[in-house]
């Protein structure tokens, strides 16, 4: 147990060191990126610094697999250089037993990252998006409530708020929709109730509509008219509506199942959020796989030579697995493969690959 605690502590300290280095690098790069994005807003240095700090946790969260593989390589290279691995094996400890403590630490860090760091990332990302919208003069286009969805469109002083009971997957076809237009400083000007509405070529094609004029009239109900087909100009596009669903990373893992349920109830596509939720559950396993791969390429004694090639091989394999992991998640988001297969297949395959490599190393 003393040896396990020693290796666990060594790996944890290596992880903290690499994490701190990445935090500084991402922070410096983030300052430059925020200046580029928000230069038109004319922000002060303190505001740019605050925006950078809000965006840094999200960036770091994306680099967790890379941080884990570098921490593992750094630790095992140091152990090999000091011949501690040779002494450990001479004492009767196999490579697999030596890896138990670092692997469990990586698994625990993955669980803590999912349970604690994920809500921090969600909170900072949401605040960053809110401040960026204020600074850039933009606002949220779409909001999903428990039993309906809301859209906002318009330009200048004229805006239209849209409420619908449901929609298609990309939010361009609405059912049981209500449109209320208003002009800033004058109040509401138009109300439309419709059975359905479809966004096409820069306008809403509204069917079975009843239109109430709300300005320059004493009795809107008396002046209301019914139309089999009614058109209303729109500044929205399908891409804008899809992007307004929000980044899944801005929703905590604890709230994500409820948000996915609301998307489904509204008839919107939820696969992107479902894939993100499953990938968060799979992250502890994936981080452990990164540690095992790093160990498999760096647990050799350095007197054998070719250390640099083995390190590059470990980093190359980990990058390949990371690329396949992201590619499979994209296939899952597009509906080309089942969500569970897109998320869990690569971590499980990587686990067997790492174990096979370690067993080959042990037998050799």
Would you state the pLDDT for residue 344? Answer: 94
Angle subtended by helix axes 2-38 and 100-112, to nearest 10: 40
> What are the DSSP calls for 114-140, one per residue?
IIIIHHHHHHHHHHHHHHHHHHHT---
Question: Does the pTM of the predicted model rise above 0.85?
Answer: no
Would you state the pLDDT for residue 67? Answer: 92
Nearest to 76 by CA among 299, 308, 304: 299
Q: What is the pLDDT along the chain (364 residues), one digit of tens a residue?
A: 788 888 899 999 999 999 999 999 988 888 888 777 776 666 777 887 888 888 888 889 988 999 999 999 888 888 877 777 777 777 777 767 878 888 999 999 999 999 999 899 888 888 887 777 677 655 555 666 666 788 887 766 778 888 888 777 667 888 888 998 888 777 888 899 999 998 888 888 999 999 988 877 778 888 888 999 998 888 777 776 766 666 787 788 888 888 888 777 766 677 888 999 999 999 999 999 999 888 888 776 656 556 778 788 888 888 899 999 999 999 998 889 999 999 999 999 999 988 888 888 765 4
- CB-neighbour burial class of residue 342 (10 A; exposed 0-12, middle 13-18, buried 19+): buried
**What is residue 146's DSSP assignment?**
S
Would you state the pLDDT for residue 193? Answer: 92
* Tokens of residue 345, six digits: 């297949």
Q: How far apart are CA 263 and CA 242, in angstroms?
A: 12
Would you state the pLDDT for residue 348? Answer: 94
Would you state the pLDDT for residue 266? Answer: 63
C-beta separation of 147 from 159 below 8 A: no
* Tokens of residue 69, six digits: 């593989």
C-beta separation of 300 from 310 below 8 A: yes
* Tokens of residue 64, six digits: 């967790």
* Tokens of residue 208, six digits: 């079975």
């Amino acid at each position: 147990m003393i040896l396990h605690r020693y290796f666990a502590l060594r790996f944890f300290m290596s992880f903290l060191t690499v994490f701190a280095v990445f935090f500084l690098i991402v922070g410096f790069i983030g300052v430059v990126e925020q200046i580029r994005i928000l230069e038109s807003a004319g922000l002060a240095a303190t505001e740019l610094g605050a925006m950078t700090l809000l965006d840094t946790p999200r960036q770091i969260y994306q680099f967790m697999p890379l941080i884990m593989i570098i921490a593992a390589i750094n630790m095992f290279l140091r152990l090999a250089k000091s011949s501690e691995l040779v002494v450990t094996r001479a004492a009767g400890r196999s490579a697999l037993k030596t890896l138990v403590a670092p692997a469990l630490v990586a698994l625990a860090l993955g669980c803590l990252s999912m349970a604690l760091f994920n809500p921090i990332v969600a909170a900072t990302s949401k605040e960053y998006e809110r401040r960026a919208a204020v600074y850039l003069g933009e606002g949220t286009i779409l909001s999903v409530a428990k039993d309906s969805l809301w859209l906002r469109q318009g330009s200048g002083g004229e805006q239209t708020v849209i409420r619908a009971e449901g929609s298609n997957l990309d939010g361009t076809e609405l059912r049981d929709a209500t449109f209320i237009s208003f002009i800033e400083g004058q109040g509401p000007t138009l109300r439309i109730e419709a059975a359905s509405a479809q966004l096409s070529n820069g306008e809403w094609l509204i069917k079975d509509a009843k239109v109430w004029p709300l300005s320059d009239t004493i009795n809107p109900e008396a002046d209301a008219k019914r139309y089999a087909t009614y058109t209303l100009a729109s500044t929205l596009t399908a891409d804008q509506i899809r992007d307004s669903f929000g980044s899944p990373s801005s929703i905590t893992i604890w709230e994500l199942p409820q948000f996915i349920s609301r998307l489904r109830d509204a008839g919107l596509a939820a696969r992107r959020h479902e894939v993100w939720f499953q990938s968060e559950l799979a992250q502890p396993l994936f981080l452990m796989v990164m540690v095992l791969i790093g160990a498999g390429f760096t647990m050799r004694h350095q007197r054998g030579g070719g250390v640099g090639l083995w390190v590059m091989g470990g980093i190359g394999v980990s990058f390949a697995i990371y690329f396949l992991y992201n590619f499979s998640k994209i296939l899952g988001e597009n509906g080309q493969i089942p969500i569970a297969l897109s998320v869990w297949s690569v971590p499980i395959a990587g686990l067997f690959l790492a174990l096979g490599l370690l067993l080959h190393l042990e037998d050799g």
